[in-house]
A = this chain, B = another copy of it.
Amino acid sequence: MPTIAVVNVNTSTTMTATISAAAQSVAAPDTRIIGVTPTRGPESVESHLEGALSAVGVIEAVRAQSTLGPPVDAWILAGYGDQGREALQELVDGPVVDITEAAAMTAMLLGDLYAVVTTLKRTVPMIRDRLRLAGLLDRCSSITATDLAVLELEADPSATDHAIIAQSREALDNGAEVICLGCGGMAGRARELSGILGAPVVDGVTAAVGLAESLIGQSLSTSRTGTFAKQYGKIITGFPTLDQQRE
């Protein structure tokens, strides 16, 4: 039974539940989904500073999960535009799929240009930069914001849908043919929104599950020949679960 751990980037357990449910909804019958919630870090990630703190919370939670939990075959990093995918690739044995990248790849299979609709305006450059480094920005026609904070998404689902639809329509009018939901917290809405918009809407979490299952099925994992090679041991102060790597 393949096991996929879906790692939330903030400390909200309700968001982990939302994300895990979305993941489970598309997973193969024999795939087990485990939700992981950091015990440290911000309650939501909407800035570079919060992203940096979140990355460490994610790393520690993944280290704990991989040490203490059942074997995990693939990891999904469920933060949109956040840093940390590369660090996880170094930390764990199995493959790591970032939802920002999974959404973009999936969208690129479905139409000419795609657009991302996200939360606050200040996160737009963060998402753009993640896509640029991932080499997936060329076919992105726009990244725009609903001006709803992450924690507002759950508070008023109807207003959230309304805001996403408005931004999506504008993006479609300007040449996008596919919409990516630009926040882990938007998980679970793609099918309904797709019906309303008349265009494919991609949920990064469900997109990532397909990619993770595919990598497991092909026995593929992170390359260790270059930047993600296993590191020699080194003294790391103040992070007890990550230190003592040098023997």
Query: Hey, which bits of chain A sit against chain B, CB under 8 A?
Result: 11, 26, 28, 39-44, 46-53, 55-57, 59, 83-84, 86-87, 89-91, 95-97, 101, 105-106, 108-113, 121-126, 129, 132-139, 172, 175, 177-178, 190-191, 194, 198-200, 202-203, 206-207, 209-211, 213-215, 217-229, 231, 234-239, 242
Which residues does chain B contribute within 8 Å of A139, judged by CB atoms? 134-135
* Chain B, residue nearest A27 (CB): B217
Q: A214 with B210: in contact, given A83-B52, A133-B129 (CB under 8 Å)?
A: yes
* Chain B, residue nearest A44 (CB): B234
Q: Is the CB of B177 within 8 A of A225?
A: yes
Q: Could you list 27 A-B pairs, sorted by A, with CB under 8 Å?
A: A40-B237, A46-B231, A47-B227, A48-B89, A49-B59, A52-B59, A52-B83, A52-B87, A53-B236, A55-B55, A57-B238, A110-B220, A111-B225, A122-B227, A122-B228, A124-B227, A132-B133, A135-B135, A199-B223, A199-B224, A200-B222, A200-B223, A209-B217, A210-B213, A210-B218, A211-B211, A211-B214
Which residues does chain B contribute within 8 Å of A203, judged by CB atoms? 218
**The one of B44, B56, B91, B206 that contacts A218, using a Cβ cutoff of 8 Å:** B206
